[in-house]
């Protein structure tokens, strides 16, 4: 029997150490994994999600759990609950989804931040913001440290997400300075794993789905642009370590895997691991698509004692296994 790492082992907790925690966007890919971890630690969790990109499938295994509660709610409207901590993950995160309704995407980032910060201010509790490496735009500094201010197009098709998240960070730090709100801001780099949406347009899910279906694998540009891929379990561990730091550590802190791969390398690895006969097909590069993306995680190592432990091959194998079970045509086959 495989031994679980310590942080994956359900912990017995004293009643007075149990927290009531709100996770917005909790029915999403990353949010649902975070909720699993928090429940394993013995906490009570309220999941708030409007299900625009989240799915009840991601949390259906929690149906009937005595410490879990689902609330269908849009964070652009105020939420009145009593909790000890808040993780704000609500926002569509893939270009296909956030460009579908760009005004609503900006509202989700900005109004959502205002509403969650207002709640944290009233409750005098910690509030976590899931920011993004997209705040760096198409970076002119590589790898990207937290001190880099970014190279972002404020009026392009991606700006609803990029600038929305940048504004959310502004609000978090202004609440911190003006009201003393205890904040934690993490900048998330490319993350993958089970429960990714099969049609979200992200590179890992795209490649796996296309390979499993035997379809041509779409590469934008010549495939030499680079990304760094972090497995979701590693990311969630970083979230919790950041939230558990003292008030002096506010962030922003990069959370991602510094291992850097070209998109073409990822496609070839996916074909090999799935045993697919798919061929690579090049398409024009999308507007403002970053050419390089790699986190500098020196702060995470120093302040959180955190770094990723799951290699790309291992994480891809788990993710491929997940998609084999959820793609209808593969299940039927």
Position 16 confidence tier, pLDDT thresholds 50, 70, 90? low
Question: Residue 4 class from Cβ within 10 Å (0-12 exposed, 13-18 middle, 19+ buried)?
Answer: exposed
Classify residue 7: in a domain, yes or no.
Answer: no
Classify residue 72: in a domain, yes or no.
Answer: yes
- Mind listing the pLDDT tens digit for each residue in 283-322? 887 776 677 888 999 999 999 999 999 999 999 999 999 9
- Mind listing the pLDDT tens digit for each residue in 270-283? 999 999 999 998 88
Classify residue 12: in a domain, yes or no.
Answer: no
Q: What is d(CA 294, CA 246) in angstroms, rounded to the nearest whole number?
A: 27
Instruction: Give the mean model confidence (pLDDT) for residues 324-329.
Output: 80
**Which CATH number fits the domain that encloses residue 267?**
3.40.50.720
Q: What is the pLDDT of residue 333?
A: 39
Q: In 3-state terms, what secondary structure has residue 21?
A: strand
Q: How many alpha carbons lie under 13 Å from residue 320 in its C-beta half-sphere?
A: 21
Classify residue 4: in a domain, yes or no.
Answer: no
Range of weakest confidence among 105-109, 177-181, 221-225, 321-325 = 221-225
**DSSP string of 199-252?**
TS--HHHHHHHHHHHTPPEEEETTS--EEE-EEHHHHHHHHHHHHTS-TT----
Classify residue 117: in a domain, yes or no.
Answer: yes
Classify residue 95: in a domain, yes or no.
Answer: yes
| Annotated catalytic residue 192 | no
Does pLDDT of 14 surpass 70?
A: no
Classify residue 2: in a domain, yes or no.
Answer: no
Q: Is 278 left (phi over 0), alpha (psi -120 to 50) or beta?
A: beta
Nearest to 47 by CA among 21, 18, 77: 21
Domain count, the chain: 1
- Percent of the chain residues past pLDDT 90, beyond the cut: 72
- Mind listing the pLDDT tens digit for each residue in 199-216? 777 889 999 999 999 999
The β-bridge partners of 87 are 23, 128
- What is the largest distance, in Å, between two alpha-carbon atoms of the chain? 59
Range of 271's domain? 20-332
Does pLDDT of 12 surpass 60?
A: no
| Choice among 87, 98, 136, 161 that is catalytic | 161
Does pLDDT of 144 surpass 60?
A: yes
Classify residue 13: in a domain, yes or no.
Answer: no
Nearest to 332 by CA among 201, 207, 213, 193: 213
- Quick count: other Cβ atoms within 10 Å of Cβ 201? 14
The β-bridge partners of 11 are none
- Mind listing the pLDDT tens digit for each residue in 82-128? 999 999 999 887 677 767 788 989 999 999 999 999 999 999 999 99
Q: What is the pLDDT of residue 273?
A: 95
Does pLDDT of 64 surpass 60?
A: yes
Q: How many alpha carbons lie under 13 Å from residue 99 in its C-beta half-sphere?
A: 12
Q: What is the pLDDT of residue 223?
A: 84
C-alpha distances in Å from residue 71, one per residue of 86, 195, 220: 14, 20, 38
Q: In the structure encoding, which two tokens stand for residue 204, read together?
A: 């890992």
Does pLDDT of 326 surpass 70?
A: yes
- Mind listing the pLDDT tens digit for each residue in 25-59? 999 999 999 999 999 999 999 999 999 889 999 99
Q: What is d(CA 154, CA 271) in angstroms, rounded to the nearest whole number?
A: 36
Q: In the structure encoding, which two tokens stand for residue 189, read together?
A: 């780099």
Q: What is the pLDDT of residue 288?
A: 63
**DSSP string of 263-325?**
HHHHHHHHHHHHT----EEEEPPPTT--S---B--HHIIIII-----S-HHHHHHHHHHHHHH
């Amino acid at each position: 029997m495989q031994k679980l790492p310590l942080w994956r082992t359900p912990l017995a907790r004293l009643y007075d150490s149990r927290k009531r925690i709100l996770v917005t966007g909790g029915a999403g890919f990353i949010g649902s994994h975070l909720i699993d971890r928090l429940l394993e630690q013995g906490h009570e969790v309220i999941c708030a999600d409007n299900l625009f990109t989240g799915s009840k499938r991601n949390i259906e295994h929690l149906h009937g759990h005595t410490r879990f509660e689902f609330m269908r709610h849009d964070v652009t409207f105020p939420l009145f609950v009593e909790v000890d901590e808040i993780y704000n993950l609500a926002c569509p995160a893939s270009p296909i989804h956030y460009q579908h309704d760009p005004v609503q995407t900006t509202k989700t980032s900005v109004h959502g931040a205002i509403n969650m910060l207002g709640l944290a201010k009233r409750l005098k509790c910690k509030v976590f913001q899931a920011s993004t490496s997209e705040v760096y735009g198409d970076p002119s500094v590589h790898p990207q440290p937290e001190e880099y201010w970014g190279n972002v197009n404020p009026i392009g098709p991606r700006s609803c997400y990029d600038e929305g998240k940048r504004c959310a960070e502004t609000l978090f730090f202004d609440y911190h300075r003006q009201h003393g709100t205890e904040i934690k801001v993490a900048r998330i780099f490319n993350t993958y794993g089970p429960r990714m949406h099969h049609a979200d347009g992200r590179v890992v899910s795209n490649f796996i789905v296309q390979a499993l279906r035997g379809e041509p694998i779409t590469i934008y540009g010549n495939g030499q642009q680079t990304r760094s891929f972090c497995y979701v379990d590693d990311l969630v561990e970083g979230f919790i370590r950041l939230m558990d730091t003292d008030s002096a550590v506010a962030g922003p802190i990069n959370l991602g895997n510094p291992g850097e791969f070209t998109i073409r390398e990822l496609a070839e690895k996916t074909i090999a691991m799935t045993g697919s006969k798919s061929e690579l097909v090049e398409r024009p590069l999308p507007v403002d698509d970053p050419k390089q993306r790699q986190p500098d995680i020196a702060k995470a190592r120093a302040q959180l004692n955190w770094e990723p432990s799951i290699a790309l091959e291992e994480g891809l194998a788990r993710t491929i296994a997940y998609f084999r079970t959820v793609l209808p045509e593969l299940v039927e086959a």
